[in-house]
Amino acid sequence: MLQESVTVYVVDDDESVRRAMKRLLRSAGYHALTFGSAEEFIDSAPEGGEGCLVLDIRLPGMTGLDLQERLSSSGARYTVIFMTAHDNQQWQQRARKAGAVAYLRKPFDEQTLLDAIQLACREGALMKERGVKHV
């Protein structure tokens, strides 16, 4: 799969994190879009969208976990990578149960993120081939 054909959506309330991730993803050949909140993502994301969603768990307003559940129930086709600086066991379990491709604890290095995105892209392509709905 060509990286240019994959859109990676980053939802994080920290502007410096969004800026750094966007630069990294573009330098790796991905089309990257960033959002400061779950609500901003919902308002801006294409209808019935698909791609890789890198999602902070703790966001102002709707949490990342709540956004993932909403997208799942709407039939959107995103593979999800959760990230957090405030880890807890309940979030890990909820993310796994929701089908997250990866769960990253901040701070993480660039290669860890790129590896998780590659995994998400492969999983998304496999599910698309099989006609399986994913978040």
CATH number for the domain harbouring residue 106: 3.40.50.2300
**pLDDT tens digits, one per residue of 16-64:** 999 999 999 999 999 999 999 999 999 997 766 788 999 999 999 999 9
Query: What mean pLDDT is predicted for residues 88-106?
Result: 91
Residue 61 lies in a domain: yes
Residue 83 lies in a domain: yes
Is residue 1 predicted with pLDDT exceeding 80?
no
Q: What is the CA radius of gyration of the chain?
A: 13
- Name the residue range of residue 40's domain: 3-130
User: Rounded to an integer, what distance in angstroms lies between the CA atom of residue 80 and that of residue 101?
Assistant: 6
Residue 135 lies in a domain: no
Residue 58 lies in a domain: yes
Q: How many domains does the chain have?
A: 1
The rounded percent of the chain whose pLDDT value lies above 70 is 88
Residue 45 lies in a domain: yes
Give the distance from CA 76 to its chain's centroid. 12
- Full-prediction pTM beyond 0.95? no
Query: What mean pLDDT is predicted for residues 118-123?
Result: 91
